Amino acid sequence: MPASGGAPAPTPRAVAAAALERATAHLLSLQNEQGWWKGNLETNVTMDAEDLLLRQFLGIRTDEQTRATAQWIRSQQNEDGTWATFHGGPSELSTTVEAYVALKLAGDDPQAPHMASAAAWIREHGGISASRVFTRIWLALFGWWPWSRLPELPPEVMFLPKWAPLNIYSFGCWARQTIVPLTVVSAHRPVRPAPFGLDELHSDPADPFRAPPMASPTSWDGLFQRLDRVLHAYHRHAVGPVRRLALGQATRWIVERQEADGCWGGIQPPAVYSLIALHLEGYDLGHPVMKAGLDAFDRFTVHTEDGGRWLEACQSPVWDTCLATIALVDAGLPADHPALVSAAEWMLGEEVRRRGDWAVQRPTLPAGGWAFEFDNDTYPDIDDTAEVVLALRRVDHPDQERLQAAVERGVAWNLGMQSKNGAWGAFDVDNTSTLPNKLPFCDFGEVVDPPSADVTAHVVEMLADVGKARDPRTRRGVEWLLREQETDGSWFGRWGTNYIYGTGSVVPALVSAGIPTAHPAVRRAVRWLEEHQNADGGWGEDMRSYENQEKWSGRGDSTASQTAWALMALLSAGESGESVERGVAWLAATQLPEGTWDEPHFTGTGFPWDFSINYNLYRLVFPVTALGRYLHGAPRPESGGHPARSLPVPVSAASVDRADGPGTAQSGPRSDR
């Protein structure tokens, strides 16, 4: 029907095509001349507060750094005086404590309304004594909290063999990188003179450093509390030569794992604690290791237009580049487009060819794969490797022999990193012990790396793409995914929020691996997505689904990235009806004039619930992928895309069809657990 004035209204496909054209142009404009993409990675103000505290401890804090950081921290404060860990999230005690201390360090008057309201809220919620261990460690560095009231983890843990419980390799890579330097710090128990007191943050001034009540000796908490008492006694009577040997081994371990860019693992927590530990072990600020480590923080610093300053906890160029490459091919760019060739060339140069900590569990596995960051050769990750392989196979690179060799190494490395249950974790193999999470020392986020549905799905999709859909190892991954489906039809998302991300990852992988779109697991997933579509046509899920699955699973304000994930699942399942059309229409209607989308909500995770991430490029790359697949369909195998084939239901039909049966992973909640 012609619109008023006689001009025909654009068709939904025309509207989608126009939105895709704008988004594609904007994404291309963001590519670095070296071939990579990188969006800012937002977390929370503890990164900025701890940066100031680190510089105060080392004696290098400048007035300008302090002013700019304090300006940013103030800008993130809630009306009630508190700080949250994600956009729109609830007030969080430890974050509020650290932000308050940083602002006081910057000279903010404790009687000022924004400071007084923060202090009052902290006291009402238990004061400093109720904050997490890592917050109290920062305070102990300045005498605001006694070291004797912190859990003890001695550097002698370095002597434990890899088969022993609680050896450093029983922790996930991010945790072991943090824990090793903290054992050094804990052994030294340093105290720098505090420039002010924090009495106003104690809920009970008469007993500000009270110890928690002892738990039952028959419980894990009680057992580890009593072990902690033993370790504290050992600290007072540690054998000098043994302690020095342990400190030396820990120090060497830290130095050996410094990356080429000066950072450790490409993430903030290991970097700050490593610098403190090495400084305590006699490394002066002019030492090349210390200088490179401090310089790395400059590359993590983001300066705002109004003069503020904040720090990325990590940087994601490899991840962003492979996702952007996949998106642009799905959008219709030719495989030999210069932007794609440049991206592939850069990714080939980022391949990790040296052995890292993963080799402790896989000593004979040849090196190969990709990390998340610019420079991180110690910890390539399984997720990035799978997606880079998918991206490279979509590009018509002039040196196909070189590209294929890198792909083959990445595939072999991923297959070698399969856990014994058939699934994949992010960095390590069979990193599933529950003991590390029970340590009093480990009260913040995940410290182990069990297999997850989203990582496993990406590996399965990649293996199907390279022609290994029938490989027994791929089928074991498929079986695991089908077992892990929630009873409502969704999948838990470990590295993205949450059930929408898990479902958006798994459904395309299952279909790529040959599971028919009529399979009950796929139909349950489609039904769940349709039931959780918002009235505006989009999809969204709040971070609180990690804490309250029943209330928040698949629920939240619509976002561009989560809407795209839902569409990617529906399209792969062969859907083309009202839900898809409404989702596409929402993306087109909410697109900004420059071609991207506004997305203040956090849709990524470091640790589910405890550490949330807003990947600034997610709001663009995933809508481009979804719109491209809506308009052009899934790429064919000959162009390096998803295989268009259907295989028989694999292995044991009884175990596969019973997708709501017992799972084997510990990566997240299931409604039947």
Q: Is the separation of the CB atoms in 455 and 502 below 8 Å?
A: no
Of the candidates 320, 383, 449, 454, the residue annotated as catalytic is 383
Angle at 426 between CA 341 and CA 270, to 5 degrees: 100
Helix/strand/coil for 242: helix
Q: Please name the residue ranges forming H helices in 189-309.
A: 220-236, 240-256, 268-280, 288-299
Longest CA span, the chain = 90
Pairing of strands 309-311, 301-303: antiparallel
Q: Is the separation of the CB atoms in 325 and 316 below 8 Å?
A: no
- Can 383 be counted among the known catalytic residues? yes
| CA dist., res. 18 & res. 437, Å (int) | 49
- Residue of 107, 128, 89, 92 whose CA lies nearest to 52: 107
| CA dist., res. 413 & res. 559, Å (int) | 34
Query: How many residues belong to the chain?
Result: 673
Q: Is the separation of the CB atoms in 424 and 455 below 8 Å?
A: yes
Sign of torsion, CA 238 241 244 246?
negative
- Residue of 582, 655, 479, 632 whose CA lies nearest to 24: 632
Q: Is the separation of the CB atoms in 405 and 453 below 8 Å?
A: no
Amino acid at 661: G
Amino acid at 634: A
Name 613's bridge partners.
Answer: 604
And the tokens for 246?
Answer: 């342990």
- Give catalytic residue positions: 383
